[in-house]
């Protein structure tokens, strides 16, 4: 972000209220180009000389420095909002509690079939401001946007917006469901009647948001046949937005599985239809797509037992979708981590029906234990040791036709820097176990 601002000829002050380790080359570049880095100082002298306050997505709007910025009457926006002011091309903005990374990845691959420059950025791992800096007005971006990023939007206007689903999450930041929904709704707050909003008909909070939209609303559903939108009919993904029905491909053509992934596919189909992607190119992308890393990712099979990495399941709804993807059940589930303090009832009810064993680890394990016992989960194993100890416990007890699933329903911050690190460690341990079992390929 700071480099982009400097590229624009702006004078930049990078502020943090705690000391941070920064690469020497970054520090030198900032100094060379007239930027300033400030740690652990009173921010007010710097705020007084500033014209714009750009907040990092990880910083809540309730922090002291933001309050001081408001006192100085500064405009406060997020990095994604600034990027939207720079970029004059076309947006497909995607958010949701779960599924937004898979949907964004699918959309980006479909957009890549268009005869114009395309890119993917946002919460998916590429900073919007940097990725879009040199993209022209004819280009398209598939932008994954978190509630944290959307909180900092004030004028953002995507031509195509999509909310994959909304379920309880991030109450530690937003406080309650109403505030969380309102943050998500920022994705379409500035749309007009010329724009498109794609919503999940099967999700009640999504469905209710339609009445708040000024844009054209199209639903997708895995449970209902719709008058217009996208749905599943006779085992096919179909869509109809103008009285003409199109069949894209068979559900059985997918390499990914689970009802949640079927929703992601339908959302991507609608978004990309309005971006101009052909049905033939949608079909090619869907048949080739093998999923995203850390989301119900097949790792390997040991002694007839498949292992799946779903480290991206950082909330209960995401974990429920992963567990339910295994139609036959017989899941050995690894769950727990840094607790988001959301309700565990549905998660534990599904766990009781679908799992043969629940292994609990991390900071959340005691609260998860009480909820599991309350909801009738029978075979509960508490792991007070390391993450590797928990994976080895699963290995020791798993027998065919069981599967071992890491789907924590928690963030990773008690043991890891982030969920990708947790997923990579899980895969490394599983591959080590495979070698120890004498099954190394």
Binding-site residues, please?
96-102
Same domain, 228 and 197: yes
- Percentage of the chain beyond pLDDT 70 is 100
* Mean pLDDT (whole number) for 175-186: 93
Same domain, 154 and 243: yes
Range of the domain at 341: 297-437
Same domain, 423 and 399: yes
Same domain, 144 and 282: yes
Q: 151-177 burial, b if ≥16 CB within 10 A, otherwise e?
A: bbbeebbbbbbbbbbbbbbbeebbeee
Nearest to 184 by CA among 214, 209, 218: 209
Helix (H) or strand (E) holding 360: strand 355-360
Residue 341's pLDDT is 87
Nearest to 336 by CA among 393, 263, 400: 393
- Please provide the average confidence, as pLDDT, over all residues in the chain: 94
Q: Are 337 and 311 in contact (CB under 8 A)?
A: no
Tell me: pLDDT of 212 over 60: yes
Same domain, 367 and 412: yes
Same domain, 344 and 269: no
Nearest to 271 by CA among 46, 69, 111: 111
Residue 101's pLDDT is 93
* Mean pLDDT (whole number) for 384-388: 97
- Tens-place pLDDT, residues 11-34: 999 999 888 888 898 888 888 898
> What band does 173 get if pLDDT is binned at 50, 70 and 90?
confident
| CATH code for the domain of 260 | 3.40.1190.10
Domain end residue (candidates: 27, 51, 73): 73
As a whole number of angstroms, the distance between CA 196 and CA 182 comes to: 19
Same domain, 320 and 363: yes
Same domain, 132 and 275: yes
Binding-site residues for ATP, please?
96-102
404: CB partners within 8 A, 6+ apart: 305, 306, 307, 308, 331, 332, 334, 394, 395, 398, 430
Q: What is the DSSP string of 255-275?
A: SS-SHHHHHHHHHHHHHHHHH
Structure tokens at 363: 């900071």
- Tens-place pLDDT, residues 186-203: 999 999 999 999 999 999
Tell me how long the chain is. 441
Q: 283-302 burial, b if ≥16 CB within 10 A, otherwise e?
A: bebbeebebbebbbbebeeb
As a whole number of angstroms, the distance between CA 107 and CA 126 comes to: 15
Phi (first) and psi of residue 165, to 5 degrees:
-170, 165
- Tens-place pLDDT, residues 314-369: 999 999 999 999 999 999 999 999 998 889 999 999 999 999 999 999 999 999 99
Domain end residue (candidates: 23, 51, 73): 73
Tell me: pLDDT of 125 over 80: no
Indicate the number of domains in the chain.
Answer: 3
- Tens-place pLDDT, residues 247-269: 999 999 999 999 999 999 999 99
Same domain, 304 and 426: yes
Same domain, 172 and 249: yes
Residue 104's pLDDT is 97
Same domain, 180 and 240: yes
Same domain, 284 and 312: no
Residue with more model confidence, 126 or 149: 149
| CATH code for the domain of 36 | 3.40.50
Residue 6's pLDDT is 85
Domain end residue (candidates: 73, 107, 128): 73
Nearest to 106 by CA among 215, 256, 230, 240: 256
* Mean pLDDT (whole number) for 297-325: 95
Phi (first) and psi of residue 339, to 5 degrees:
-75, 130
pTM: 0.86
| CATH code for the domain of 305 | 3.90.190.20
- Tens-place pLDDT, residues 57-80: 888 888 999 999 999 999 999 999
As a whole number of angstroms, the distance between CA 387 and CA 24 comes to: 33
Residue 441's pLDDT is 55
């Amino acid at each position: 972000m700071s480099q982009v601002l400097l590229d624009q000829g702006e004078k930049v002050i990078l502020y943090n209220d705690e000391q941070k380790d920064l690469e020497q080359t970054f520090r030198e570049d900032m100094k060379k180009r007239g930027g300033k880095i400030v740690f652990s100082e009173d921010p007010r002298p710097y705020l007084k000389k500033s014209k714009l306050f750009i907040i990092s997505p990880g910083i809540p709007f309730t922090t002291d420095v933001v309050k001081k910025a408001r006192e100085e009457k500064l405009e406060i926006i997020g990095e994604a909002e600034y990027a939207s002011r720079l970029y004059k091309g076309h947006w497909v903005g995607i958010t949701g509690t779960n599924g937004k990374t898979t949907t964004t990845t699918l959309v980006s691959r479909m957009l890549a079939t268009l005869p114009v420059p395309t890119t993917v950025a946002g919460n998916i791992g590429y900073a919007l401001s940097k990725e879009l800096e040199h993209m022209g007005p004819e280009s398209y971006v598939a932008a994954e946007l978190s509630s944290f990023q959307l909180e900092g939007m004030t004028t953002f206007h995507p031509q195509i917006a999509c909310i994959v689903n909304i379920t309880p999450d991030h109450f530690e930041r937003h406080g309650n469901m109403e505030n969380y929904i309102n943050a998500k709704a920022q994705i379409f707050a500035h749309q007009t009647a010329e724009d498109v909003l794609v919503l999940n008909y099967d999700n009640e909070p999504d469905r209710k948001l339609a009445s708040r939209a000024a844009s054209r609303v199209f639903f997708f559903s895995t449970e209902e046949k719709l008058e217009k939108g996208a749905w599943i009919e006779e085992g096919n993904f179909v869509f109809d937005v103008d009285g003409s029905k199109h069949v894209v491909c068979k559900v059985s053509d997918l390499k990914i599985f689970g009802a949640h992934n079927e929703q992601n596919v339908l959302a991507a189909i609608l978004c990309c239809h309005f971006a101009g992607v052909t049905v033939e190119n949608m079909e090619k992308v869907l048949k080739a797509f093998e999923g995203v890393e850390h989301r119900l990712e097949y790792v390997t099979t040991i002694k007839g037992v498949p292992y799946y990495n779903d480290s991206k399941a950082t909330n209960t709804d995401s974990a429920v979708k992963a567990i339910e993807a295994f139609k036959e059940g017989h899941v050995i589930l690894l769950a727990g981590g840094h607790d988001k303090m959301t309700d565990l009832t549905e998660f534990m009810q599904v766990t009781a029906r679908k799992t043969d064993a629940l292994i609990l680890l991390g900071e959340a394990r005691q609260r998860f234990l009480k909820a599991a016992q309350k909801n009738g989960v029978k075979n509960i194993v508490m792991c007070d040791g390391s993450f590797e100890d928990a994976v080895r416990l699963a290995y020791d007890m798993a027998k065919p036709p069981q599967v071992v699933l890491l789907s924590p329903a928690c963030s990773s911050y008690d043991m890891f820097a982030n969920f990708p690190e947790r997923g990579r460690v899980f895969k490394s341990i599983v591959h080590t176990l495979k070698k120890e079992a004498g099954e190394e390929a």
